[in-house]
Amino acid sequence: MNAAISCKDLTKKFGSFTAVNQISMEIPKGSIYGFLGPNGSGKSTTIRMLCGLITPTSGTGTVLGYDIVKDAEKIKQRIGYMSQKFSLYEELTVDENLDFYAGIYGLKGNTAKERKKELIEMAGLTGREKQRAGTLSGGWKQRLALACALLHQPEVLILDEPTAGVDPVSRRIFWNVIRDLAKQGMTVLVSTHYMDEAETCDFVTFIYNGKLLAKGTPEELKQQAEQQSLEDLFILYVNAQNGKGETNNAIDKTVI
């Protein structure tokens, strides 16, 4: 498989606590890969290791062929990353935020100007260039953060709960942009708590207590566990792990 991101037995311990426990996965180029799991299950920690922001305790991984430990700086230059906090400068305008990130990515002159123009249009921010980021609503902030993460035309986009706290209309607009990017060949790894978003991913994984429980296409996983929706499946996994609630035998077929 032509994987844009892959990892094997990726593990992160904080002291004696294991936040991520031997996660292995392969994310094909040009796919949208959903990362699902309850709060504190280890999604952000895994994402931060893959972005080269924190070092794994053990295990290996590559992004676009670069080693996540040895080539962390190269990975940071080649991917777009959007954290839960959006990383915007609230006192700066839309234009100034984009200029700041263009500087970080080494874009200059006309290249920077043209790229900014394209992204302002893509994000639907036309007319708001002089507005301070701090005064934008959640949906606009989110799209500005996405525009900043895309300035250097990354091949891989990593989004950590990009739509948390954003209204349904803005979420839909955001996902239309993400799907367009994937159609153009971008690989997208996205963590989310929204099952409607997960249903439209090409592949999903369930992570719980730092462990990867299942992975596959949404259809495969639902069929194997005989569930109508990913939400039902998600609840089933969590209950099965906690040894409570209703479970079914079919779940054994999907759990890794």
Ligand X SMILES: Nc1ncnc2c1ncn2[C@@H]1O[C@H](COP(=O)(O)OP(=O)(O)OP(=O)(O)O)[C@@H](O)[C@H]1O
Q: How far is Cα 18 from Cα 116, in angstroms, rounded to an integer?
A: 41
- Residue of 45, 62, 83, 205 that binds ligand X (CB under 6 A): 45
Q: Indicate whether 41 belongs to the interface with ligand X (CB under 6 A).
A: yes
In the bound state with ligand X, the residue whose beta carbon lies nearer, of 43 and 171, is 43
Tell the smallest beta-carbon distance from residue 131 to ligand X (Å).
29
C-beta closer to ligand X: residue 14 or 253: 14
Residue environment code for 18-30, b if the CB has 16+ CB neighbours within 10 A, otherwise e: bbbbebebebeeb
**C-alpha triplet 16, 37, 201: angle, nearest 5°:** 140
> Residue 39 interacts with ligand X (CB under 6 A)?
yes
Window contacting ligand X (CB under 6 A); options: 33-41, 174-182, 195-203, 230-238: 33-41
Number of shown-chain residues binding ligand X (CB under 6 A) = 10
Pairing of strands 203-208, 187-191: unpaired
Residue 52 vs 116, nearer CB to ligand X: 52
CB of 16 to ligand X, least distance (A): 11
Stretch that binds ligand X, among 1-9, 32-40, 112-120, 141-149 (CB under 6 A): 32-40
Q: Please tell me whether residue 16 binds ligand X under the rule CB under 6 A.
A: no
Q: Does 192 bind ligand X (CB under 6 A)?
A: no
In the bound state with ligand X, the residue whose beta carbon lies nearer, of 19 and 151, is 19
- Decide whether 39 or 110 has the Cβ nearer to ligand X: 39
Query: Minimum distance from CB of 218 to ligand X (Å)?
Result: 19
CA 226 vs. chain centroid, Å, equals: 27
H or E, element range at 212? strand 211-216
Contacts with ligand X, 85-114, as mask; x by CB under 6 A: ------------------------------
For residue 120, the SS3 value is: helix
Per the listing, tokens 């993400």 go with 178
Asked if residue 228 binds ligand X (CB under 6 A), the reply is no
Residue carrying structure tokens 């479970």:
247
Parallel/antiparallel/unpaired status of strands 203-208 and 32-36: parallel
Q: In Å, how far are 11, 65, 69, 161, 208 from 234, measured between CA atoms?
A: 23, 32, 32, 17, 10
Q: Is 61 helix (H, G, I), strand (E, B) or coil?
A: strand
With CB under 6 A as the contact rule, which of the stretches 40-48, 70-78, 176-184, 222-230 interacts with ligand X? 40-48
CB 64 within 8 Å of CB 4? yes
Member of 14, 55, 106, 248 binding ligand X (CB under 6 A): 14
Torsion (CA) 64, 69, 71, 77 in degrees, nearest 10: 70
Residues of this chain that bind ligand X (CB under 6 A): 14, 19, 37, 39-45
